[in-house]
Amino acid sequence: LNDNNLDSFVAAIDQKAMLARVFEQRLIDTRVKDGVDNSFGSDVRKLFVESFPKVNGEILGKIVGFRRNGANATAVVRWDMPNFKFIYHEFDLVAGSKDRVNIVDWVDFGSGQRFSHGFGDTLVTVVADEAATRTLLRPVSLTGPEAFQTSELLKAARDGKHTRYFDILPGLDVRIRNHPVVAIRSLQMASASRDRGRYKDALATLAEYFPDNPLYATTLLDYYLPQRDYAAARTALLMLGERLGSQDPALKSHLATLSLLVGNEQDASDYAEAAAAEDPGLELAWWAVLRSRTANQRYDEAIAALDVLEDKFGHKLRTTALKRDRLLAQLMETEQFKSWAKPE
């Protein structure tokens, strides 16, 4: 996962099975189909890399779930990013020859779609004629002018023409703007253009029309958290954990923090302690432990968490570093902290 070389990853993909999903129920120009066989590897590399947010720092993957069913299996990978952000991929796997494991497809909970769906939709827009657009937007029925305008919108997205895209978008009927294909593209285009207002509008569409879809759970955190809608953020992550089949330590750590913010100290403690026990090397878990122990006035145990954060993760927390956090500032007023922070 982390060798910075996509060759082995691409080689592990069952190209025939993947393309069968890509071409399924899509009107893709024959010339485009014919060219995909030769460009498959480079296409996958490009789309895979572009699916990740642009961050300053490493993005590291870790397998956090694995379920097998005969010759098929599902692997859940958590990609850790700077500032304790994360996304998940759920890989569909099949046993191949010579004890190899082949990748058939994967669900990207960062972009909110299956890779094969995004790949297929991209191929449709290479030509983006009106017939293909009608197929792409099913079950929405388009009039002639709507099919033309939507095709033009998709071409603008294909070409990265942000201004043209957002010139066309407001003129489309709401049932088109809120179709998942368009809603996701609007989010991607707003993010690429770094337009915060449009990005917030695109997030609002997802929150209003797809709040119960776990594919968008991590994306919607960018909408719920600035609005301090911690209950909705917590519900989204619970939904995501249910969809993934388990709550890994990072998910539990975030649930611990959100549980504190909605006033549920016991849940916060349960999530945080479980996260640190399951993955003692996860820094995020120890911050969750520190906050939950402080909130539950378990100050001696909170000091033990401070030791871990200093000794294992290199933080210097004996001065004023904790004052920026209202809850942890309370810890600094306790006798336990003052005794711990005294110079030896």
- What's the pTM? 0.90
Average pLDDT score over residue span 66-84: 93
- Residue environment code for 124-153, b if the CB has 16+ CB neighbours within 10 A, otherwise e: bbbbbebebbbebbeebebeeebbebbbbb
3-state secondary structure of 81: strand
Is the pLDDT confidence value at 344 over 70? no
Question: pLDDT digits over 78-110, tens only?
Answer: 999 998 989 999 999 998 888 888 999 999 998
pLDDT at 97: 81
- Here the tokens at position 250 are 């990072």
Tens of pLDDT, residues 147-161: 999 999 999 998 999
pLDDT at 303 over 90: yes
Rounded distance between C-alpha atoms, residue 240 and residue 223, angstroms: 16
